[in-house]
């Protein structure tokens, strides 16, 4: 017989994840009361929800800003959503501010992998491949190729905003936070562009 899920358990999971009450209840039931497993289920559903909504138009949103307390550096970001109702949502606004803070902290040159010029990717691939072949001499080509891809993934993570750790919650990337927010709010949300400034830069 399935374990009975209490209202307190559901509320505790909602407080931790921000997901809807029914979603939390279903996830807990599916996980047999295991909270960590339920969180994993909610994250997977959020990712699926984000993928489904990614084709929907985003004509609303916010320009958010962050200026460091020294006043010497800051950033502007444009984050889009589907409706002005969501643009006024506290969670959406907090995400926008968090993205601006992340841009200021890391100063990434690109938004995501798709925005990196192909010539830059190829140049980095050549450098990484040469270094990897030298350091892994005698290893099978399949092992070397896998190592090259792994090193390229690290390079993208250094260069792309969406793969940076989201500063207000550094256990997740900006993309993971965006995906979870889409699952929670139920609208397509996209970080469109950003600009970072530093005094004298």
What domains are there in the chain, each with its CATH number?
7-53 (1.10.8.10), 60-111+160-198 (3.30.479.20), 117-159 (no CATH)
8-46: per-residue pLDDT in tens? 888 887 777 666 677 788 888 888 888 888 888 877 766
- What pLDDT band is residue 184 in, cutting at 50, 70 and 90? confident
Q: What is the pLDDT of residues 70-114, one digit of tens each?
A: 999 999 999 999 888 999 999 999 999 999 999 999 999 999 999
Rounded Cα distance, 83 and 60, in Å: 5
Residue appearing with tokens 């004298």: 200
For residue 165, the model assigns a pLDDT of 95
With CA atoms as reference, report the closest residue to 194 among 166, 162, 169, 163: 162
Q: How far, in Å, CA of 62 to CA of 86, rounded? A: 10
SS3 of 24, please? helix
Please indicate whether residue 182 or residue 201 has the higher confidence score (pLDDT).
182
d(CA 149, CA 43) in angstroms, rounded, equals 26
CA distance 23 to 3: 17
């Amino acid at each position: 017989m399935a374990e009975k899920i209490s209202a307190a358990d559901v509320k505790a999971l909602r407080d931790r994840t921000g997901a809807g009450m029914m979603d939390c209840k279903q996830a807990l039931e599916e996980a047999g009361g295991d909270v960590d497993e339920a969180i994993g289920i909610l994250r997977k559903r959020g990712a699926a929800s984000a993928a489904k909504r990614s084709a929907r138009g985003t004509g609303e949103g916010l320009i958010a800003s962050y200026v460091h307390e020294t006043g010497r550096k800051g950033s502007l970001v444009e984050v889009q959503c589907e409706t002005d109702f969501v643009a006024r949502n506290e969670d959406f606004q907090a995400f926008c501010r968090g993205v601006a803070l992340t841009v200021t902290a890391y100063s990434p040159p690109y938004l995501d992998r798709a925005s990196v010029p192909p010539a830059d990717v190829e140049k980095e691939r050549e450098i990484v491949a040469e270094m990897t072949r030298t350091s892994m001499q005698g290893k099978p080509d399949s092992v070397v190729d896998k190592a090259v891809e792994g090193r390229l993934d690290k390079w993208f993570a250094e260069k792309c905003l969406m793969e940076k750790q989201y500063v207000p919650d550094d256990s997740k990337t900006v993309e993971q936070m965006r995906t979870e927010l889409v699952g929670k709010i139920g609208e397509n949300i996209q970080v469109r562009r950003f600009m970072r400034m530093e005094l004298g830069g």
